[in-house]
Structure 1
Amino acid sequence: MSLNVSCQFDTNEEKREKMEANLIVNAFCVKADMDPDLNLQLCDPFSLDCRVQLLWTHWLSDGRSLLHAFCRADNLRLHAGPRQISVCQSLTQWFLDNCPPSQNDDPVRKATAVKDEQHYQDDLRTGAFDFQVRDTTTQQSTSSRWAQAEEKPRPYQVVFNVQPASMCWAYPQPRILTRVDVYPIPLLKPDGAGQDPVPGVEQVDCTLEFWDPCCQEFRILRRFSLSETRFTRVPLPGISAQSKQIVQEEGKRAEKELLDNQVAFSDMWRIVMHFTEENLPENRPKKIIAAPPSLVACTRIDSYFNASMVPDIQLGFTFNQISLSLHNQVAIPSSSLLDSQFHLDGTMPTDFPFATLNFSSVSANVRYRLAETLTASLDLSSQVQANLINFRFLVDESILEPTNMDVQNPAG
């Protein structure tokens, strides 16, 4: 096993103090010695790349700090059987005996964790945002490009990209969006001078995305359409159908319901236009005038900030594949329990796998908020497959075909 650790302390002009540590582990495995002659394997050797960030920002006035951690591994193979379960129970009991949970309630923390609510209306059009257009075409739209500091917009800055056609903006603190209204704008030039465009392409598919610091990538929150003739209000998560009907009369009630259920806190958001000239019909002129800078004029965005609602701990995990092998383990009785006329011939293996659960493309995000009561939220996506050994032919038979799984447990 090899271990590489690097640490970095950063204090920049954005007043975001940060300490970052990168951890790389190669060929890591876990074994347990239950008896001198019994070596128990809990997991096969695997490699792990982990990045941990500790932040204490200027908008945290109560002495809190934020912890962001992201771990990535290719393949992880676990083994489970009666003996492995016994080892895990012993480890759990040891931790409970030696590391009891803290019962100390800090009254100062509770007193200072008062709600410091800040409501913002029409951020991009009436706020103090600076605009920047990037003419160069970005070849990659993945997180690796945006993970670099120079590629990210600064707080109160809007950046327009050509490819992907997007408008990205950043706040000085994590916020949630409480309202997104999209007004109609012209999408194409007329066929000729003074002529109206022929009906054809009347809307552009767009996505509203937020930056996830744990996954180090943009995640889609909602899909909507940019239309030439229709007004669109993006349905944000957490607003029920009843609240939508009374949003005009009781806007505060709908906003409160959204704030209680919304979990997408981020300091960087973007709108991506999924629209290219190649998608136009042959009889349409390829003269597109809809561009990312036009999104500012046709979009109203309201946001909300509350430091007490920002998760204190955010953990992200990504695995190419996780395999769980279920073992049948034979307990060998002592010689005193065996009659002298019976002896074990050794043809029966004492430990062999009989089933396998495979989880492919595993992505999980966990968020904790350490307030007066501990609240947590979980997002998990994967593809599951199960195999069972046919002991007659000693081959694996599939009992569950590859099935997509998506689990979301919002904070309660």
Structure 2
Amino acid sequence: MIRWKWLVLFLCFAIISGCVVERKHRRETPKNQQPQYEPAGSLGNDNNGGQVPDPVTSGGGGGEVPDIPASGGNTGGVGTQPSTPLVPPPLPRVLVYLRGDKGEDFAPYVEETFKEAGFKLIDRDQLQNIKEVDAALSTNDRNKMRALKHRYGIEVILAGKVKSQFVGRRRIYGRMYDFYKHKINMKAIEADTAEIIYSKPAYTLEASSERKVIRRVKDLASLFAEKLKQRWAKKRYQGRNFDVVISRIPYKHLIRFENYLKKYPKVTSLGRRSYAENTAFYDVGFRGQSDGLENAILGCPFFRFKIVRTTNNRIDAEFKGLKSGAVKVEKGPSVDFEPFIEGTVDKPGTRVWVNGKEVKVVNGKWRTRIKIGSVKEVVIRAVDPFGNVTIQKRRIGGP
């Protein structure tokens, strides 16, 4: 019995001693000292010197991977550098033009929505002649649309009409109210091509106030703004279609120009829509901006062109003639003492004939002898590598 008492006292003493030591250890440890952990994804060392993968990155534990700051932070991890954000595509200039018995009342709400979306707006009241807009919208005349574009910088016309219909009067809480239904039609038109980008109608239920109409107009304007943003982003970063007009080009040169443009690397499609009075109208698919297509036209090795007018979706160019291996006479011949004639060419590979006899061209220069007295005129004919021909006539002893 005495032995059991001593055993119980010994166990109590051991328990009390352990509690005292633990309490002393907690007092010595600072409160703000936190346990150190290896950063997520790092490798720790086991007792045998080998590397033990982190349980989170190796698939064990099933926990969530903690966020690591981009600069590494206090965790010591290596963060990824943020990528450079893409420059947003430039949005078009928009003219909001709502007609109808309530069009002018709701147009400011549409303009407010587009302004908040980042679009640049053209004020309808500041146009010099509003009849131009009325005529362009009523006839869909391409020339009138382009005139608006060039004069005022309008790229998209948001045309619409708001109509209200009286449906009756009702008594509510002792007062009479007029109820109306509203129909809203909107369409976005490209000023360059008169193409309808997007069109959608909207309707409102019977209401005695305009709050529901205003909300519906704003929702429809937000939808149009989103559609325009998507289209302009696609046109900037992907292939798109251009209207290309070539004026004063003879039909005999038309096929050659088309074959060149079809083989151009960034041209995805080429369709001739019409040809009349030496003017060709094309629908060209091109991966890039309008300046790239302009360079493709100007870089044609056969013909010379002049860019007359260019917009975001249309290029007008004028045919100026052939690109030939032009030959230049530097010297001779003279009746008195100079029986030689010599000159230069401006394109490598150009062949030269003088009075029907081919002359050797070396480093862009040529020279031959003329029999004075046998002929009174020298005919110089040059053909460049593309087959373009230049003919010059020079009188002996004269210019």
TM-score clears 0.5:
no
| Structure showing greater relative contact order (alpha-carbon pairs closer than 8 Å, 6 or more residues apart) | 1
Question: Which structure carries more strand by proportion?
Answer: 1
Question: Which structure carries more helix by proportion?
Answer: 2
Normalised to the residue count of structure 2, the TM-score between the two structures is 0.20
Name the larger-Rg structure. Answer: 2
Normalised to the residue count of structure 1, the TM-score between the two structures is 0.20
